[in-house]
Structure 1
Amino acid sequence: VGLIGYKFMGKAHSHAYFDMPKFFTSKAVPVMKTICGRDEKAVNETSEKYGWEGYETEWRKVVERDDIDLIDICTPNNTHYDIAIAAVKAGKHVLCEKPLALNVAQAKEMLDEVEKVRVKHMVCFNYRFVPAIGLAKRLIDEGKLGEIYHFRATYLQDWLVDPNSPFVWRHKKEVAGSGVHGDLNAHIIDLARYLVGEIDEVVGMCETFIKERMDEKGQKHKVSVDDATLFLAKFKGG
């Protein structure tokens, strides 16, 4: 495994790779080859703390390594496309954090590329593996719940409610692509499709309630993504 990105989500994935063999029986045990980040001191510390064999500071070097089979992408959203395309062209399997890309065109090209090369690929929709979701899926598939008339979901995460929460890359459209819709609603949409089926019609609205935030240095920035989104959808099944 070559993991690109070492901060919050990179640490979460590192925990998963390190702990997985202790809790699950699998024929494929992760070999934690390298973790990558631009800050050499910080990524080295993360590498040592979480059990990686080494580290890199250039993601292209990770992609090009012959001892890497899987590239795990845990970087800001605007980098997913370039890293994934390069990884696939190098014959690597790809695991990518959500949202997959900045827009549909990028996502479609990424999908076309993996299907052409025929490598394994997955977006990190981890809630599919929650035991309660697994049970719901089984009950629905076995017909034990009858016909499903309605699916309702809310993702309650409130750190953006605090106006003093500092400005970060997630607040910039050119880096994040979207706000809570891509960051949180992506999970809801995936679970809806997983449990109920494909969506046919959508109506919704987005809002940015806190339009400016201070960064950690005290400089004010405009927030260019949504911090609240809701929508109604009709499924193809009715």
Structure 2
Amino acid sequence: MAADNPATHRPRLARSLTDLGKQLAGTGRRAESFAATGAAVALYRQLAAEEPAAHTLALARTLSHLVAGLREAGQDQEALPVALEAVRIRQQLAADDPNAHGPDLAQALKDFAGALTLTRHWAKAITVTRELVKVRRWLTAQNPDAYESGLSEALTASALLRLLTGDDLPEALRATTEALEIHRRLAAAAPERFHAPLCDILRLQENLLQALGKQDEATAVHSWLAVNASDPEPQ
């Protein structure tokens, strides 16, 4: 049918393949899910090349589905080129309309950075996470309530990568300081949700302080955690 009337039926076939991939993933049939989603991606690439305005967003979404499936299956190496393609498309879309596409760009950058980290591409992961911080900082400026916790998460990821690699530890410490400022406000308002992440950031900061030779400050953080780590309402 798609061959008889491609203008009408190829987009429908691509959508059907995407839906099939999701359904197969939901039943644990990962190999078949990847095959269906990969076929949808290939078809959307053709459609987006012919009519970018009509099909580029659908291509980006389908790539994101494929990245998520590959990462859930532990196939981060295989996810890397797909995630990079998704990021590049999201960047183009966000350049035209940052309000509409900024959140999806942030998610694509997060997925790419995660895959880079788990495959030990440290330097690239730091670069991508830096871009993620930049995007989430912009989003937070537009809507703090919606995006501030995501900014803190990105800052924390950046600091952790720098600790793991020994790259610019003072910058990593500054990132945790900013993340803590955000999370202290969030934990004060909703301790049941944000107290545990606050403690995780503090543990990271303690490790950074030790690595920088700031033992007195590290001890102070450790002492606070010893008293408050299990407290759902930190003071």
Normalised to the residue count of structure 1, the TM-score between the two structures is 0.30
More strand by share: 1
Normalised to the residue count of structure 2, the TM-score between the two structures is 0.30
Structure possessing the higher radius of gyration over alpha carbons: 2
| Structure showing greater relative contact order (alpha-carbon pairs closer than 8 Å, 6 or more residues apart) | 1
More helix by share: 2
